[in-house]
Amino acid sequence: MKSLKGLGVALVTPFNEDLSVDFSSLTRLVEYNIANGCNFLVVLGTTAEAATLSKEEKKQVTEHIIKVNNGRLPLVLGIGGNNTAEVKKQIEETDLSAFEAVLSVSPYYNKPNQEGIYQHYRALAETGKQIIIYNVPGRTGQNVEASTTLRLAKDFTNLSIIKEAAPNIAQYFDILRKKPAGFSLLSGDDEFTLPVTLAGGSGVISVIGQAYPKQFSDMLKLAFERRVDDAYAIHNSLVEITRLIFAEGNPVGIKTVLAEMGLIKNVLRLPLVKASKDLEERIKAEMKNL
């Protein structure tokens, strides 16, 4: 497996005004991130509004990114859900030859207990594919506790990474402190990226990073070199814009930023709608500061 370290970005899916997928903007976005220091790309994550894409559109988006990337950066594919058997089947039936790993969110809505979460990932591990555990309680309604993550990490060598997005940073530190050798933690929270990386994390799967890949990847390089003050100077410059893009949900804010940069059109599919006028103005003002 190629290294999934440093800045990974969870790509948005750009749309045209008629809500069709905007492939030319997608090309521009991928090229922009490759040119500006991004280390790997995440395809069809939550940020991609994957829940609103048809099966055919998912296939087209995936194939397009593979083609544009042309082997330059490692790729990760999002395949998740709350029907374990169906997720397992999808992983088994998908051609993953272009991908280093599958990013699979813990089951949402059902709210399984910790044993249920363990058995879900155990079933996915049986596919033999590299699986990134993805814990995002704010979206799923259920936390994958550190003890469950550590149990999975010790029991299955192909569950070798977690994208951790728990709101409690102590949980990240507990995993980093007790994890087996060869298991890595990527921050799933942009604002926690630097402290988590300094504590032994391997980087981030970022949302804001696709708008500011140069700054974000520079910050991570400085963190890996233990140049803490320089890294924090970049971190501090990005805190406000990072908070603003999540103020009305993801990818509402990041699409506002990317549209203002001229990379995509500011179009979302229902049930998501564009940022409010007030938030849009605040985002634009902060972008001018940067």
Q: Which residue has the tokens 């999002």?
A: 78
205 is in an annotated binding site: yes
Task: Report d(CA 95, CA 139) in Å as an integer.
Answer: 27
Catalytic residue status for 134: yes
Q: List the catalytic residue out of 88, 118, 129, 134.
A: 134
Catalytic residue status for 277: no
Phi-psi region of 25 (alpha: psi -120 to 50; beta: other; left: phi over 0): alpha
| Residue 145, Cβ density class (10 Å: 0-12 exposed, 13-18 middle, ≥19 buried) | middle
Task: Report d(CA 34, CA 37) in Å as an integer.
Answer: 6
47 is in an annotated binding site: yes
Q: Which residue has the tokens 């949402």?
A: 108
Q: List the catalytic residue out of 88, 163, 179, 255.
A: 163
Known catalytic residues?
134, 163
Which residue ranges make up the annotated binding site for pyruvate?
47, 205
